[in-house]
């Protein structure tokens, strides 16, 4: 083992190696116990192991130079260090502490061991990337926690004018509406989206635009819903910022996990049943919904083929929110259809809270 000559530098290296390992452990445990994300947890654990290997060159000697009682910084605390508002602040602080510690290790290791400094530099860049992944998971939009019934508005699926149908769906209990018009050209879609958003705002419900983050931003909607073939949620998040809602359609558990990593605020889970609105050659069904209910921490709503007659099967899977189209918009009594679904969903949600 090569030796470092300066005991002061060794104390500094020891302190920052400890800081870096501790910060990695905080982030790793967040991925493990809060996100239940095995892949992300594994990446953080691997980095922690690589840091241990790269610091072997000085760590044993540095520990011998440790002087905790004589460290003038031990009692030097700010008020912010002694409290954290929530999990997000805990994990964010750990990410920043990690970067700072690695930078100190890298710079001071250059004095006696440039090759070790190079290894730590590579680790630092990897940590910047993983800090971004973790940051995307920290602040899901709280409004989606309250949504039980989302109604998809497509003019061709409405028996009456779409605005009338949308209003009646809200009056029946829909807490979220999604404008889903795949065939309209951009100019007409934007004009309709502006009307849609204004109507949702008047009634205090969440407004989501399907597929089009550009239209969502221009119309001032609350959020956008993305399919698996659309732009990745992580890229959309860079553009729309932290305050807009992003939903992602998912069909198996790895897509759900990736949606969480990408910063989605909620996911669609399905197809639960066969659907005449959007026919598919596969059914994800109740088994996938049960996986989501057991593992995924962000809000999830079942979709496809759901009606008042079969919604109890959805509720049995553990999910407490649904997205529907023709089951509401294709009925003569839109308000009553929405109200019946909402009543069942609300009872199941309230019963779950009492357990």
Residues 6+ apart with CB under 8 A from 262: 136, 232, 233, 234, 237, 248
Sign of the CA dihedral with 67 first, then 70, 71, and 74 last: positive
Active site positions, annotated: 180, 249, 278
- Distance (Å, whole) CA 306 – CA 313: 9
Q: Please provide residue 150's backbone torsions phi and psi, each rounded to the nearest 5 degrees.
A: -110, 130
């Amino acid at each position: 083992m090569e030796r470092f000559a300066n005991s002061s530098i060794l104390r500094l290296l020891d302190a920052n190696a400890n800081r870096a390992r501790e910060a990695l452990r905080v982030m790793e445990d967040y991925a493990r116990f809060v996100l239940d994300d095995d892949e992300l947890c594994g990446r953080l654990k691997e980095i922690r192991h690589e840091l241990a290997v790269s610091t072997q060159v000085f760590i044993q000697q540095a520990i011998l130079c440790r002087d905790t009682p004589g460290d003038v910084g031990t009692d030097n605390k700010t008020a912010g260090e002694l409290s954290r508002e929530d999990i997000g602040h805990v994990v964010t602080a750990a990410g920043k502490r990690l970067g700072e510690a690695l930078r100190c290790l890298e710079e001071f290791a250059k004095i006696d061991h440039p090759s070790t400094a190079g290894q730590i530099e590579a680790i630092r860049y990897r940590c910047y990337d993983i800090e971004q992944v973790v940051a995307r998971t920290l602040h899901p939009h709280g409004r989606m926690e309250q949504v039980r019934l989302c109604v998809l508005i497509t003019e061709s699926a409405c028996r009456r004018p779409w605005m009338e149908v949308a209003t009646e769906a809200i009056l029946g209990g829909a807490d979220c509406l999604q404008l889903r018009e795949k065939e309209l050209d951009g100019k007409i879609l934007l004009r309709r989206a502006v009307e849609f958003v204004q109507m949702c705002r008047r009634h205090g419900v969440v407004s989501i635009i399907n597929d089009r983050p550009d239209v969502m931003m221009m119309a001032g909607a609350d959020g956008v819903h993305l399919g698996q073939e659309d732009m990745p949620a992580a890229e959309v998040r860079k553009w729309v910022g932290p305050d807009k809602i992003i939903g992602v359609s998912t069909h198996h558990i790895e897509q759900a996990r990736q949606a969480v990593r990408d910063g989605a605020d909620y996911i669609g889970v399905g197809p639960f049943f066969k659907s005449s609105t959007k026919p598919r050659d596969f059914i994800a069904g109740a088994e996938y919904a049960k996986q989501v209910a057991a593992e995924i921490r962000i809000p999830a709503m079942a979709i496809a083929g759901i009606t008042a007659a079969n919604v109890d099967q959805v509720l049995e899977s553990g999910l407490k929110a649904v997205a529907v189209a023709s089951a509401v918009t294709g009925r003569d009594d839109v308000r009553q259809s929405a109200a019946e679904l909402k009543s069942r969903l609300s009872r199941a949600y309230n019963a779950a809270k009492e357990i």
